[in-house]
Amino acid sequence: MLKIDILSNCTLNGRNLCMLIPPRDGLDLEDKKILKSDSCRNKFISIIIPAYNEAQRIGRTIQELNAFLHQRGLHYELIVVNDGSRDNTSAAAKAAIEDYQVRNFRLIELKNNRGKGSAVTDGVKQATGDIIGFIDADLPVDLTCLDSMLAAVAGGVDLAIGARDLEESVINPNQNRIRLFAGRVFSHLINLVLFKEVFDTQCGVKFFKANAAKTIFERLTIPGFGFDVEVIFLAVKFGLVIKRTPVKLISTNGSRVRLWRDAMIMFTDLFKIRRNARQGRYNLCDCPRRSISNILPTQGE
């Protein structure tokens, strides 16, 4: 029997939910076995890169992701979603594909800038992988963090998310302290308004089983940066198996988040999500609540 994590029971509005407690030591022996096994190597992986005015960075991002996945012998496609960029993002992406000989690549062009949530949603709709993930165009985390996330989903988890608040996560000491503080305040607001199970919703890397991704993203209503919250909210509502994994943040500049303006929009998004749920907009009854016992046993079984 596969044993990945200790499990704990959670509740939301009186309903029983389950969630995975992340391992304490990052990529463990079980993860390494899964990564090398056919259960992972036979999976086709779709990675979506939402991009807005990323002409200066998209080439490096494609190069590093391609090298990382190729080195591990994985089957994959890279999907760049150009979210109405005003620079040469598309041309830079196409040049990188030729330079680094990426075999499976798609470029989705959005005429207008619709927001990160919309860009990722379009990518998920066209993704063909057994595992579907997305990562920010600036590659905010060390790519070795993807090992434990891919192993988790290949091993049975529905959703693996980077979690900067875990003890094992390594935070860049040069990161903007105002942004860090604002992020923590936003996390507390999420816990007050929507759910308490996940503290860090905004880390820019997440991986899903394909059916979980399709189920969640076909219901999304938030086009901007607040879409991550809606993703986790729906995952919790559906009782999906979520694994939070440590990440190592690397130094990046040029965040597309406009701190004060986007913060206010994201704050109002919380209440939009709550209102949508109360009005039945998510059609939650169409997706029966999952039992974690059907996917992963607890340690010791």
Least confident of 107-116, 152-161, 249-258: 249-258
Q: What token pair was written down for 274?
A: 């709550």
Q: pLDDT per residue over 205-231, tens digit each? A: 999 999 999 999 999 999 999 999 999
Query: Tokens 């992406």, residue?
Result: 93
What secondary structure, in 3-state letters, does the chain show? CCCCCCEEEEEECCEEEEEECCCCCCCCHHHHHHHHCHHHHCCEEEEEEEECCCCCCHHHHHHHHHHHHHHCCCEEEEEEEEECCCCCHHHHHHHHHHHCCCCCEEEEEECCCCCHHHHHHHHHHHCCCCEEEEECCCCCECCCHHHHHHHHHHCCCCEEEECCCCCCCECCCCCCHHHHHHHHHHHHHHHHHCCCCCCCCCCCEEEEEHHHHHHHHCCCCCCCCCHHHHHHHHHHHCCCCEEEECCEECCCCCCCCCHHHHHHHHHHHHHHHHHHHHCCCCCHHHCCCCCHHHCCCCCCC
What pLDDT, on a 0 to 100 scale, did the predictor assign at position 42?
83
Query: Tokens 């056919």, residue?
Result: 38
Rounded mean pLDDT of 85-113? 96
pLDDT above 90: percentage of residues in the chain: 60
Q: pLDDT per residue over 48-82, tens digit each? A: 999 999 999 999 999 999 999 999 999 999 999 99
Q: What token pair was written down for 183?
A: 């992020």
Evaluate if residue 139 carries a pLDDT over 60.
yes
CA 36/CA 229 separation, integer angstroms: 32
Q: pLDDT per residue over 268-295, tens digit each? A: 999 999 999 999 999 876 655 553 323 2
| Mean pLDDT rounded to a whole number for the chain | 83
Q: Which residues of 54-69 are buried (b: 16+ CB within 10 A; e: fewer)?
A: bbebbbebbeebbebb
Evaluate if residue 23 carries a pLDDT over 80.
no
CA 61/CA 66 separation, integer angstroms: 8
Nearest by Cα to 95 from 115, 85, 77, 80: 80
Please state, as a whole number, how many other Cβ atoms lie within 10 Å of the Cβ of residue 184: 14
Please state, as a whole number, how many other Cβ atoms lie within 10 Å of the Cβ of residue 250: 13
Is 79 buried (19+), middle (13-18) or exposed (0-12) by CB count in 10 A? buried
Provide the residue ranges of all domains of the chain, joining segments of one domain with +: 7-294
- 4: pLDDT confidence band, cut at 50, 70 and 90? very low
CA 159/CA 241 separation, integer angstroms: 6
Evaluate if residue 104 carries a pLDDT over 60.
yes
Domain 7-294 in this protein, CATH class: alpha beta
Q: What token pair was written down for 84?
A: 């109405």
